[in-house]
Chains A and B, each alone.
Chain A
Amino acid sequence: MAELLLELFSEEIPARMQTRAAEDLARLLGDGLKDAGLKFDTVQSFATPRRLAVVVDGLPARSSDVSEEKKGPRVGAPEAAVQGFLKSAGLKSLDQAEIRADKKGDFYVALIERSGRSTSEVVAEIVPEIVRSFPWPKSMRWGNGRLRWVRPLHSILCIFGGKVVPFEIDGIKGGKETRGHRFMAPKPFSVRSFDDYVQKLRKAHVILDAKEREIVILKGAQKLAAKQQLLLIEDMALLAENAGLTEWPVVLMGSFDESFLSVPPEVLSTSMKAHQKCFSLRRGEHLANRFILVANLEAKDRGRAIVAGNERVIAARLADAKFFFDHDRKVMLEERVPKLREIVFHEKLGTQYERVQRVRMLAREIAKLVRADADLAERAAILAKADLLSDMVGEFPELQGVMGRYYALDQEEDPAVADAIGAHYKPVGASDDVPRDPVALSVALADKLDMLTGFWAIDEKPTGSKDPYALRRAALGVIRIALENDLRLPLNEATRAALVKWKNIPAGGAETQQSLLAFFADRLKVHLRDQGARHDLVDAVFALGGDDLLTIVRRVEALGLFLDTEDGEHLLTGTKRAINILRIEEKKDTCSYEQPPDPSLLKQPEEKALAKTVDEVERVAATAVAKEDFEAAMAAMAKLRAPVDAFFDHVTVNTDDPGLRENRLRLLNRIRATTLTVADFSKIEG
């Protein structure tokens, strides 16, 4: 068994593409080897700014010989069939084939022997193929060449069992040499094995593994922060990006003038992060006037010049940000609103200005539904998009909403209005919190419902992996806002209210609304499933109809708990049995047994007991459901278990007496109907 090491050495690969590229390389190489009949133990891949590397362990020196039989046409088959067979089996004449017999007669069989190939030969074939068709998100040509790569590809190291695998791709030959750090160890060196490669790279100031580079950065940053009694504001994406920008990360700390701390902390952090890839620090709850930068060099002067240079750039960046902040505050938010006419929200859906006009009305209506101050909600909705026209949001789009809040506070809007502006895009991701304040959540809901109904009306729904307007996120946002605030949100009413605001779009009919409600149901299912709920329970509750998310979720929870009990389990079995029998008999008799059973025809004690209990249970459960006390409803259901079990143990439904049979079927229907007060048991698995 031997090891294969491949390194593709290029000019700087964009940080955001490295992880994916390393995964693709491992997958493509692994698949290529497997397809060639070569098995291996492990495949591992790595990326740095200048290289993709992959190591495959436990490869044989050759693929094994393969012999297979290919069945051909019958003896005496037409000439065309014979020729086709000879061609596909690679035979010159029928003399080379065997003749075998089965029940139907004689037929030809070709014995094909394929001798194994040397692994090195296979690798020399598949690597050029992988390189030529590598799935970079964007690739380019360079010089006079025809090859495409993410940036110019300089050399390829490819050794199998310590020996160079010979191949050539557009003038680049497979070899055993690579290079270290661009500035600290630029000379080429040769490599014998993966271990040798990793060690020599390290000596040449390259840490191959991105995860290790991340750890170096994180630990280094935390250590520097601790020395100054500061806390690092951790940011996984920024950490990964810095690991993708360095082969030899060196963590340094710089500072900026304290006077910049008058600018909102989000602005300072965003500016340092977006432009300079620097981490922010805090002292207690407040942002500190320090930052962490990650260099790619162990400088002779221990980074003094690098820190000084970065400090000057940061100072200029923060001065820009401060200028934007001061400048933006000279214009009142409402003065900006008319200019939203110039910002197209979507080609078919009109401008941001029109959007604001709809959202303000919708926010009023939703505010009434959730008992929020409608005037404040409307005011917030009017101003919510104004910051899109501010210099700051122009520079840092990710600060939308955040800046609007600051500008609203600055012009002395009601704090609830300012907070609603700040929170109305929330939640922006699975880990983001939802707005809590009634005014804020009114605007947030209105904003999302407007967007969803608009895109539904023009039939631009998410499909498969395509969701360019993040509509799934918007719908999930609505769901989470309702659930996490224990909010009653009748979706029917809310979506209709949003749909009727679309004056210029014709397709806003009932069908659109139904489709959107189904989408919400779907999103809710996904959400509940993500939280560990069983999808069949969600289906069972959804089947009852109803559009209030909170009620649906509470029912699902109560149902889940009930089914975990022994009573629940038994009742489910009994009920499903009842439903199955009914389904079969109703089909057979082409009628339904929905009339109440006739008490005079109840003969056996088990029948009588069941009939009595089922009525009681239905009454108690219905009352409990009306009060939304789903635990009580389930507790009532539990009482059904014993009589249902006893009924099935002692009573025969399909008796010869047609009157008795019909009455018993009606009794079964009572079980089905009663359980329907809490869920459609037929949808539950198990």
Chain B
Amino acid sequence: MGKLTKADRPHAAPSFQDLILRLERYWADQACVILQPYDMEMGAGTFHPATTLRALGPKPWRAAYVQPSRRPKDGRYGENPNRLQHYYQFQVILKPSPPDIQDLYLDSLRAIGVDVANHDIRFVEDDWESPTLGAWGLGWEVWCDGMEVSQFTYFQQVGGFDCDPVSGELTYGLERLAMYVQGVDRVFDLNFNGGRGKDKVTYGDVFLQAEQEYSRYNFEQADTKMLLSHFRDAEAECKALLAKGEDGKRHLMVLPAYDQAIKASHIFNLLDARGVISVTERQGFILRVRELARAVCAAWLKTEAGGAHA
């Protein structure tokens, strides 16, 4: 018992950015498209069109990417050792889910230096559901010595539509994983760049100020009236684009419409953090976003990437 000694830790614990680079390298070798983060605010990597939309339709697809995830409510002004309103998810989507997906995943852990002969890796039931996306799947949270390091999901439905084939989705909480492999108790102490001494840049150096500022914004300053009107605008634009993009059996403007749904979802999260949405209203907002997501998914199935026949 007691603290981790150096010998317990994997050799040369990767820096935060190293972790990302190793995962990218590993999944690139599995024929994944390595994408860059989607350029919009979103609550999780699943919202990236490379997951939400590509999970629908018959076409095979493999992608991996880092997605900055914004959860305004989770901000703690940089004072909590592991709660952040902005953090990184590493997202992998494999469609169809290959038979050896669990082994692929475990090899990715080995690739970032987790010794599975000394660490207790467990697949613990955790089904996933996104009420705003109308999506759900079955899977696990993956434990490493009691710590949840990934979320593992077999998508069954997105936007209310059956996923066929089924995609396997892996989501790594990068900060947690890094804290684990580096043996750090406070997220801001993570070694970001792997430098030593003067050259060392910590996670706090990069993000602490942002956490403080955004917590003020999210909880205290965000203009709720303006946000409400932004929400309505995004909702209206999404619907308008979906209507304008209809072209017989095809749809020509799904992705711009989806951007508006993503926007509406994030604005809802901000309003929620500001505490201006009552319990009953909450359900209404979620349903409105889900309606957008559902309509976008329906339109996606009428596009080439969505597998519609020419």
Contact = CB atoms under 8 A, between A and B. Distances in A.
Interface of A: 11-12, 14-16, 49, 138-144, 150-152, 154, 182-183, 245, 253-255, 276, 278, 293, 295-297, 299-301, 304-316, 319, 323, 342-344
A296 B137 contact: no
Contacts of B80: 323
A316 B137 contact: no
Interface string B121-149: 11111010000000001111000111100
Interface string B144-156: 1111000000101
Interface in B263-286: 278-280
Contacts of A151: 138-139, 154
Contact of A297 (B8, B98, B120, B279): B120
B166 A142 contact: yes
Interface majority SS on A: helix, strand, loop or mixed?
mixed
B118 interface: yes
A137 B164 CA distance: 21
A307 B1 contact: yes
Interface residues of B, number: 44
A144 B165 contact: yes
A255 B1 contact: yes
16 contacts: A12-B125, A14-B125, A140-B166, A143-B165, A144-B166, A152-B97, A254-B1, A297-B117, A297-B121, A299-B120, A301-B8, A304-B8, A306-B118, A309-B144, A310-B145, A313-B146
Contacts of B4: 305, 308-309, 312
Given A142-B166, A306-B120, A316 B1 contact: no
Q: Which of A49, A144, A300 has the most CB of B within 10 A?
A: A144
A142 B154 CA distance: 7
Contact of B120 (A154, A295, A343): A295
Given A308-B8, A309-B146, A183 B121 contact: yes
A348 to B, nearest CB: 14
B102 interface: yes
Given A151-B138, A255-B1, A344-B280, A141 B145 contact: no
B117 A293 contact: no
B2 A309 contact: no
Contact of A16 (B125, B145, B168): B125
B120 A296 contact: yes
B3 interface: yes
A273 to B, nearest CB: 12
B82 interface: yes
Question: Ordered nearest first, which 10 A-B pairs have the shortest CB separation?
Answer: A309-B145, A14-B125, A12-B123, A310-B146, A295-B120, A143-B96, A140-B138, A313-B146, A308-B4, A305-B8
A309 B145 CA distance: 5
A75 B154 CA distance: 64
Given A12-B125, A140-B166, A342-B278, 9 more contacts: A16-B125, A152-B97, A293-B146, A295-B120, A297-B119, A299-B120, A304-B8, A305-B115, A308-B8
B180 interface: yes
A539 B117 CA distance: 65
A308 B145 CA distance: 8
A314 B145 CA distance: 10
Contact of A144 (B96, B145, B156): B96
Contacts of B21: none
A345 B98 CA distance: 45
B185 interface: yes
A324 to B, nearest CB: 12
B97 A309 contact: no
A320 to B, nearest CB: 9
B197 interface: no
Contacts of A300: 117-118
B37 to A, nearest CB: 27
A296 to B, nearest CB: 6
Interface in B67-95: 80-82
Contacts of B168: 142
A309 B138 CA distance: 27
Given A140-B137, A143-B96, A319 B1 contact: no
A310 B118 CA distance: 13
